[in-house]
Structures are given as C-alpha cells and as structure tokens.
C-alpha cells in the first residue's frame, strides 16, 4: 500500500469512527429528549388535574379570582345596606339650608301627628335652632334624620302617644369606619302596637336605622292601660373624620332608665348635639317627668 493509500485509509477510518460516534450521540440525545418530552407531558397533565375534582389549574385560578370579586362586591353591598350615606339634604353645610331642613321635617312630623291623633311632646329636638359650628351642625342633621325616621315608623305602627323624644349619643365603631347616633324615645302603646312598632323598624334597616334597646316600664294595677316603653334607636352611617368620634368603650354609657308605677326617668340632652340651656333642677319632693300628660 502506497503512502497515499495509507493516508486515505487512515482518514477514512477516522471519518467512519466519527460517523459512528455521531450516530450514537444522536441516538442517545433523541432518547433523552423523548424521555424529557414524555416526562414534561406527564407533569403538565398532573398539574392540570392536581385537585381531586379534576378542575384544571387555570380554571381554578379563574374561579378563585371570580370568587374574590364576588366577595368584594357583596361586602360593598352589605356596607351600603349596613351604613348608607346620608341623603344630600341632610349633609347641608350652610346654616340656612340646614335650618330649612329642620323646619321642614319638624313641620311634617307635627302635621302627621295632627292627622293621625298622635300626641307628641310640646317641644321637639332642634326646634330651638342649630349650632353655629358646621361640624356640630352636620352631626345634628344626622340626629334629625334618625329621629324623623324613628317617629314616622312609630306613628305608622299605630302608637298614639310619644312622651319623650331626645337625642342620645354619637360614637365610632371599633374600626373608626362607621359612626353610630342614638335617640331616646318613650312611648305609650298596647303590647300589640309595640310589637308592630318593632316590626316596623325591621322595615327601615336599609336606611341604617334600628332599635338598639327596649325597656318596658311596668304598670301594675292597670292591666288595660297602654304599656310604657323606652326605646333606644340608632343610626349607623359612614364616619367623618371631622366629627372626631371615639369608639364606644371610651364613651360614658347612657344612664339606665328606671321607673316605678307612678314615674319614669327622663333622658337628658347631651351638650354636644343640643346646645341648649340646662334645665333647672327639680324642686325637692317633685317627681321626674316622662313628658306631656
């Protein structure tokens, strides 16, 4: 074999070896890729059906997102029902508009009472005027909204006598997001009418108004007489930072109403919401008044 022939044979052998090794590498690589492809497909299928329900992962994510949106929507709706905003006429910032609102509401209550024969106290809250301070005045309008709805509800139920009607307290809930206003009302009505009154307040819950407490005043010896009852009604609405209300635990509670067969205590007006001159102390031996006879 000549030198040229040996060279060609040598290079031919090397080329053949390289080709064999290349084919082996391609075969091994192909096998590895097939295994990886199979494994990837299996993992994808396992991931897609990871839950026992067999729901795909993307469907689960969509369902969770939809559920979160529905919960957020439900929370917003509940907040509107629980604590609706005051109507614009009860958010008047100027004194003239606020005074007109008070005059209109009080006139409406008295006219309805006259038509239906309901006896109201000789004076109603805010009849003497509103506070000059805008912030206090806004709180007084919230109180007005509360006791207007409350008195309308009471008269609608058939109560014929409202002996006391006073603003109560105002405070914030524990989160500070909501404000609570109360009013104290004494009524005289048979048990059936009282029951209708409580049912009536259920109908105005969407306005943020409800009965917070009820105290029945016993009337022994008068089984046919109208039942005396003390109601604490409340209004809940979104809080305003300007009101600077504190949580309930920091507010002194209303003194419990106690009564005998002959008399019952009268709720006093808080100075914050009703800037009026304090009443003179009762003479010795006199009995506290429940309102008009």
Q: Please determine, for residue 100, whether its predicted confidence score (pLDDT) is greater than 90.
A: yes
Using CA atoms, how far apart are residues 86 and 207, in angstroms rounded to an integer? 9
Residue partners of 259: CB distance under 8 A and separation at least 6: 217, 218, 228, 265
Q: What is the pLDDT of residue 260?
A: 36
Residue-averaged pLDDT of the chain: 75
SS (H, E, C) 158-183: CCCEEEEEEEEEEEECCCCCEEEEEE
Rounded to 10°, the helix 57-82/3-48 angle is: 30
- pLDDT beyond 70 at 283: no
Q: pLDDT of 51-92, one tens digit each?
A: 555 566 666 667 766 667 666 666 555 555 667 888 999 998
Determine how many CB atoms are found less than 10 A away from the CB of residue 259.
Answer: 18
Q: Are 109 and 148 in contact (CB under 8 A)?
A: yes
The pLDDT of residue 255 is above 70: no
pLDDT on residue 206: 86
pLDDT of the residue at 148: 95
Q: Quick one: how far is CA 80 from the chain centroid?
A: 7
pLDDT at 228 exceeding the cut of 50: yes
pLDDT band at 50 (very low <50, low <70, confident <90, very high): low
At residue 271, the pLDDT reads: 37
Radius of gyration over alpha carbons of the chain, in Å? 39
What φ, ψ does residue 286 adopt, rounded to 5°? Answer: -80, 160
**CA nearest neighbour of 150 among 166, 169, 135, 129:** 166
Q: Specify the pLDDT at position 217.
A: 80
Count the alpha carbons within 13 Å of 85 in the hemisphere toward its beta carbon: 6
| Average pLDDT estimate for 166-183 | 92
Question: Could you tell me which of 109, 104, 113, 124 has the C-alpha nearest to residue 164?
Answer: 124
pTM over 0.85: no
């Amino acid at each position: 074999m000549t030198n040229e022939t040996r060279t060609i044979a040598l290079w031919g052998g090397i080329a053949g070896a390289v080709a064999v090794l290349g084919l082996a590498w391609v075969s091994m690589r192909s096998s590895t890729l097939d295994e990886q492809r199979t494994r990837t497909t299996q993992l994808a299928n396992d991931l897609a059906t990871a839950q026992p329900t067999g729901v795909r992962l993307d469907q689960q994510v969509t369902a969770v997102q939809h559920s979160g949106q529905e919960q957020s929507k439900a929370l917003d709706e509940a907040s509107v029902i629980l604590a609706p905003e005051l109507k614009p006429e009860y958010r008047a910032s100027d004194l003239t508009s606020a005074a007109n609102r008070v005059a209109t509401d009080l006139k409406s209550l008295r006219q309805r009472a006259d038509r239906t024969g309901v006896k109201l106290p000789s004076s109603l809250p805010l009849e003497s005027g509103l506070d000059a301070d805008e912030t206090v005045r806004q709180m007084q309008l919230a109180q007005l909204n509360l006791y207007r709805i409350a008195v309308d509800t009471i008269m609608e139920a058939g109560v014929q006598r409202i002996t006391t009607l006073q603003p109560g307290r105002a405070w914030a809930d524990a989160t500070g997001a909501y404000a609570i206003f109360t009013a104290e009302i004494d009524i005289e009505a048979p048990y059936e009418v009282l029951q209708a009154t409580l049912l009536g307040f259920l109908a105005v819950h969407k306005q943020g108004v409800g009965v917070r407490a009820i105290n029945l005043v016993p009337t022994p010896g008068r089984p046919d007489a109208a039942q005396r009852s003390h109601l604490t009604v409340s209004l809940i609405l979104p809080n305003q930072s300007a009101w600077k209300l504190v949580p309930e635990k920091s507010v002194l509670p209303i003194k419990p109403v106690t009564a005998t067969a002959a008399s019952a205590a009268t709720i006093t007006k808080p100075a914050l919401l009703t800037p009026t001159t304090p009443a003179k102390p009762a003479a010795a031996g006199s009995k506290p008044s429940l309102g008009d006879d």
